[in-house]
Structure 1
Amino acid sequence: MITDTFNNKINSYLILPLAILFLSTAGCVQGQLGVNNSGQYNNGIVVCAYPDAAQVGLDILKKGGNTVDAAVAVQFALAVTLPQAGNIGGGGFMVYRSADGKTNTLDFREKGPAGASANMYLDSAGNVVPDMSLYTHKAAGVPGSVDGMVAAHDKYGKLKWADLVQPAINLARNGFKVTERLASDLNETRAQFQQLNPGKKYLLKDGDWKKGDLLIQEDLAKTLEQIRDKGRNGFYGGEIADKLIAEMRAGGGLITKADLDNYHSVWRKAVTGTYKGYKIITMPPPSSGGIALLQLLQSVEKYPLNKWGRNQDSTIRLIVEAERRVYADRSKYLGDPDFYKVPVDSLLKPAYIKSRMSNFSWDAATPSKSIQPGAFAGYESHQTTHYSIVDREGNAVSITTTLNDSFGSKIFVAGAGFLLNNEMDDFSSKPGVPNMYGLVGGVANSIQPGKRMLSSMTPTIVEKDGKLFMVVGTPGGSTIITSVFQTILNVIEFNQNMQQAVASKRFHSQWLPDQVDAEAGAIDSATIIKLQSKGYKVVLNGGIGRVDAILKTKWGYYEGGADPRGDDTKLGY
């Protein structure tokens, strides 16, 4: 039976937009479903989750900044203009590719505080306490975004640090005009802001927010000034750190001054693979996204998807069956590699992936309860936003950052004006118990002090014939992986341009629960009937993902795709 539902948990996360940066020709195009705004630029392009932040990125590029300079500026601008997901109180991942093909990745994911423990969200009976890992001070992991931006700038930046942070300060102090979507999100979250922040007035006003209202954030501007003037120490030390620790003490949180002092982002080697001659460069653990994406692509590579057609019966069934097996593996084997031996090579072996698909039958759906994580010989046992940047030299970044839920924990740091994340929910509070996105985990992703929680973020860069081809990523909790996967297929298999590929309706499956979530209109009624006859449960849902991506065409220009599900914007020169 088709069930019309609106998964509030997932959709609140999907409200977090996604941004992709690239350099190109001046012009701003707001995406609309069904509209072919190809956004073709010769020098580069910025595709980002909020118009004002996209403009900041474009201005930096025009001033001679490189892709990392623009990324830093956009990150801080989004912390002002996109409070649902843009942040200085969260963390994320960056995939980098230089113009000459050198790659690197930066892990600035949040960490569990030193006071965290495996059973910290369980009651005396061993049951998970509802919402404790979501809307309390104990839900916050040690933030990584500011350290990550400092590390990226130190390694690759070109312009002065202060010049990259100043535009965000201007937006916070002088204000910016809210969009209709942001106004709606602020109004819908007002009651939680008031409940969780007694005595604080952040993001609140008399009456409802309306499109065009000016949002001014003076405390956030002062915080950003500290970061502008003192770099890393402007956030992890000094008065901002003192305010964060005071907030922790006031609310019974766990983050200490030592946790802030000890936080450092980590440079990691990208995980790579191929799909029909294209090279996929993506994020390693503690992101689950890169390994899962490569597994999915290899699982479907030998099948004639182009012949079957996009979102047709056989295509959907194959993809769903691959997704079920990949998410089952995710539940057992993926976690922070600094704490747990992640079997990357085993998970990506072609023979293993082939064996996982060996019990797939065209006769009927494989029930998720009959699918278990795979086994190897000798093995020891989801608010978010995205942006990618390519500068005129051809250096590219794909960056996804997050607070986890929309507006994170909904708790502000008094006097500092920024939101705390609720990333601790991305750990496995209890083996076998799903988190807010329905994802199940185990020992590999158990809570430990100093450990980075597993993520679905999948910032990715694709090469063709040794040259830059695509930059792609999205927010969306557990749907991030499948949204990136389908966007890549839309271009490579189904010959869509970049705007069509990100705007096309999507579907998603993740092992548990045993169902196929689909956007309304993603699957036609005749195909749904065919899927039902084979045992697939189709659930019609709200928007899936906010993919912003960039394609370098065979003619050499950049083509942007800004997801019409949000306020996503593409700008270039």
Structure 2
Amino acid sequence: MVVSAHPLASEVGAAILKRGGNAIDAAVAVQFALAVIYPDAGNIGGGGFLVLRQQNGNLAALDYREKAPAAAHRDMFLNEAGEVIKNLSFKGHLAAGVPGTVDGMVQAHDKYGSLPWPRLVQPAIDLAAKGFPLTEKEAEKLNEQRQDFIKYSTIKPDFILRDKWRPGDTLRLPDLARTLQRIRDKGRAGFYEGATADLIAEEMNRGEGMITAEDLAGYRAVWRTPLTAYANDYRIISMPPPSSGGIALVQLLTLAEDFPLEEWGWNTAATAHFMIEAERRVYADRAKHLGDPDYYDVPVKGLLDVDYIKNRMKGFSPKQATDSDAVLAGTPAPPESPNTTHYSIVDSQGNAVSVTTTLNSSFGSKVFVAGAGFLLNNEMDDFSVKPGYPNSYGLIGGEANAIAPGKRMLSSMTPTILEKDGELFMVIGSMGGSTIITTVYQIILNVTEHGHTMQGAINAGRFHHQWKPDWVLTEWGALGADTGLKLWLKGHKIVPRTGGIGRAAGILVLPNGKLEGGADPRGDDAASGF
């Protein structure tokens, strides 16, 4: 089974599995397909994280997160007075980090793939060259971004511009097809060297960006040790730093062990109040302690210490909300020396892959690489452009996530796999910026505590708290009038939003061994299996 943000991408992945490919083969094919048909987050100009659990229980985690260019520096988005220049880290050429997606896919395939590389890239080439029909949501998003595409791309990207895109219109991307052909034929060198690298460097020169040919040639994805922990009889397998998602998720699920959420019920005032208070404390830790472990000694062991985690709820009151200004990051034991989209895949052998990939915000920096047909990310905004200053998602950061040359920016991406009794149980992840962690958290609790199906857990209404700003973001109707009123009386500030929170893709292994896919109705997501 494959669950992704677009039906065509899920079909591409399922077709690879039907031809005898394994989960990594399908992941590579889905990644490149999403780069064509889901340009707001699917990408070759961004990066991501991949978590693998093989059928025999072996684990792997691949970090193909973007990196700051060599010329980057901590004050690059500040004016002479030391104030943040609005939108400079968010739109345009300086917002882009060195892309990691292509190298990540090459490394994953080299280590675990089984089918020939060209066969995995070809479906994306066909989609780009022949064209594909736009969904209603994708047509609407392209229309909304038209002016930004013109403003921030140095050469007008006529192939993506139209007075008005309509559902069912065919979008063809010939320049992207040629870029993908180079990747098909030359692998890593088809992107980080030669014609594509030249086009990226030329785009940077025209737009006064920082990424150079040397930055591209020097990029390498990194294999990291997966983060593992136990909570409520489930083994959690997730991404370590520079993702904050794995640590935060383990902290949240560990805190839930001591509270009778099943008895309290789904999205009741008692359950929601506890979850909000736990999220408030965990996001405070995230702001202070998490960053790129290659540049900062992240206290992973201390943050995952059960006694430390449970002590974070000291001062919790079941009757009253905590003021976020009164919640500080904890002091874990020091380290020992040493628009995003998600897809989940399980192959016929039982290998499982959880992948979250991103350009950061929708359509990234809004910069198309002229002649190459793809968008660049705006991941530089995920750094702390100034300690204590919120990024575009309102997340506060500190010294641990300050900008430095070659450094990977902190992420909320949370690709996760769960085991139960030593067997594969769930593959889950989400898009949604700072809401990714809480989305994955709620979905896991929906299944493990409240008895939801995979699809039901993903359909269920969501809410989110991230320490600061000090409010509870909710989907309309997620909490209901009774729960909302009770939370308000406890002192919570409830802020409804018309759009959804997160977009998840999950697979649940049922007791009879069959797979249930959960595709998020908040988008065009689809599950494809056989």
Scaled to the shorter chain, the TM-score interval is over 0.9
| d(CA) in 2 for partners of 1:263, 1:377 | 32
Letter of the 1:223 partner, please give it: T
Aligned to 1:300: 256
Establish whether residue 268 from structure 1 lines up as the match of residue 224 from structure 2: yes
Question: What amino acid is the match of 1:545?
Answer: G
1:94-109 alignment, distance < 5 Å: 94-109=50-65
> C-alpha displacement at 1:199, in angstroms?
3.5
Aligned with residue 392 of structure 1, among 348, 360, 363: 348
1:321 aligns with 2:277: yes
Whether contact under 8 Å (2:297, 2:335) holds in the other structure is: no
2:510 counterpart of 1:562: no
Q: Give the drift of 1:201.
A: 2.5
Q: Deviations over 1:220-253 (max 9, x none)?
A: 0000000000000000000000000000011011
| CA distance in 1 between partners of 2:319 and 2:307 (Å) | 24
Partner SS state of residue 142, structure 2: helix
399, 415, 428: which one pairs with 2:371? 415
What's 1:291 paired with? 247
AA aligned to 2:313 is: M
Once residues 80 and 204 of structure 1 are traced to their aligned partners in structure 2, the CA distance between those partners, rounded to angstroms, is 12
TM-score when normalising by structure 1: 0.91
- C-alpha distance in 1 between matches for 2:151 and 2:68: 25
Choose the corresponding residue for 1:125, options 72, 77, 81: 81
Q: Is the 8 A contact 1:186 1:203 kept in 2?
A: no
User: Is 1:71 aligned to 2:27, yes or no?
Assistant: yes
What is the count of residue pairs matched by the alignment? 527
1:547 counterpart SS class: strand
Out of 409, 412, 420, which is 1:464 matched to?
420
User: Could you tell me which of 287, 294, 297 is aligned with 1:331?
Assistant: 287
1:311 equivalent to 2:286? Answer no
* 3-state SS of 1:471 partner: strand
Structure 1, unaligned stretches of length 5 or more? 1-44
Q: 1:48 offset after TM fit, Å?
A: 1.0
Query: In the alignment, residue 115 of structure 1 is paired with which amino acid?
Result: A
Q: CA deviation at 1:198?
A: 4.7
Shift of 1:255: 0.6
Letter in 2 for 1:384: T
Map of 1:545 onto structure 2: 502
1:348 is aligned to 2:304: yes
Structure 1 residue identity aligned to 2:400: A
Offset, 1:341: 0.2
- For residues 462 and 439 of structure 1, the distance between their equivalents in structure 2, rounded to whole angstroms, comes to 27
- Offset, 1:190: 0.8
**Could you tell me whether the CA contact under 8 Å between 1:400 and 1:473 is conserved in 2?**
yes
The amino acid of 1:408's aligned partner reads G
Structure-1 separation of matches of 2:333 and 2:246: 23
1: CA distance, partners of 2:30 / 2:524: 15
More displaced 10-residue stretch of structure 1: 520-529 or 204-213: 204-213
Distance 2:455 2:392 in 1: 30
- 1:394 deviation in Å? 0.4
In the alignment, is the contact (CA less than 8 A) between 1:202 and 1:412 conserved in 2?
no
Distance of 2:87 and 2:157 partners within structure 1: 23
Change (3 A) 1:313 1:203: farther
Q: 1:132-143 maps to which residues of 2 (within 5 A)?
A: 132-143=88-99
Per the TM alignment, residue 193 of structure 1 is displaced from its structure 2 partner at its CA by 1.0
Equivalent residue for 1:207? 163
**CA deviation profile, 1:438-469 (whole Å, cap 9, x unmatched):** 00000000000010000000000000110000
Backbone CA RMSD of aligned residues: 1.0
Higher relative contact order (CA 8 A, sep 6+): 1
TM-score (ref. length: structure 2): 0.98
Q: Residue 204 of structure 1: CA displacement? A: 3.0
Q: Give the AA of the match of 1:566.
A: G
Task: Kindly state the Cα deviation for residue 332 of structure 1 after the two structures are TM-superposed.
Answer: 0.5
Aligned 8 A contact 1:462 1:470 in 2? yes
Q: Distance in 2 between matches of 1:377 and 1:88?
A: 38
> Contact conserved, 1:428 with 1:441, CA < 8 A, in 2?
yes
Match of 1:168 among 117, 124, 136: 124
Distance 2:62 2:154 in 1: 37
For 2:170, the aligned partner's letter is L
Matched, 1:225 2:218: no
Q: Hey, what does 1:15 align to over in structure 2?
A: none
- The residue type equivalent to 1:46 in the other structure is V
What amino acid sits opposite 1:213 in the alignment? Answer: D
Query: How far off its partner does 1:195 sit?
Result: 1.6
Report the alpha carbon displacement of residue 136 of structure 1 after superposing the two structures with TM: 1.6
The equivalences for 1:85-96 within 5 A come to: 85-96=41-52
Alignment check: 8 A CA contact 2:69 2:212 kept:
yes
Alpha carbons 2:154, 2:207 under 8 Å: kept: no
The equivalent of 2:529 in structure 1 is: 572
Deviation per CA, 1:471-515, whole angstroms, max 9, x where unpaired?
A: 000000000000000000000000000100111010000000001
CA spacing shift, 1:202–1:502, aligned 2, 3 Å: farther
Whether the 8 Å CA contact 1:51–1:567 is kept in 2: the answer is yes
- Paired with 1:116 and 1:344, the residues of 2 have a C-alpha distance of 27
Give 1:306 shift: 0.5
Question: In 2, distance between residues paired with 1:552 and 1:265?
Answer: 30
Return the alpha-carbon distance in structure 2 between the equivalents of residues 81 and 272 of structure 1: 33
Q: Which amino acid aligns with 1:363?
A: K
1:471 and 1:549 in contact (8 A); partners too: yes
Whether contact under 8 Å (2:505, 2:518) holds in the other structure is: yes
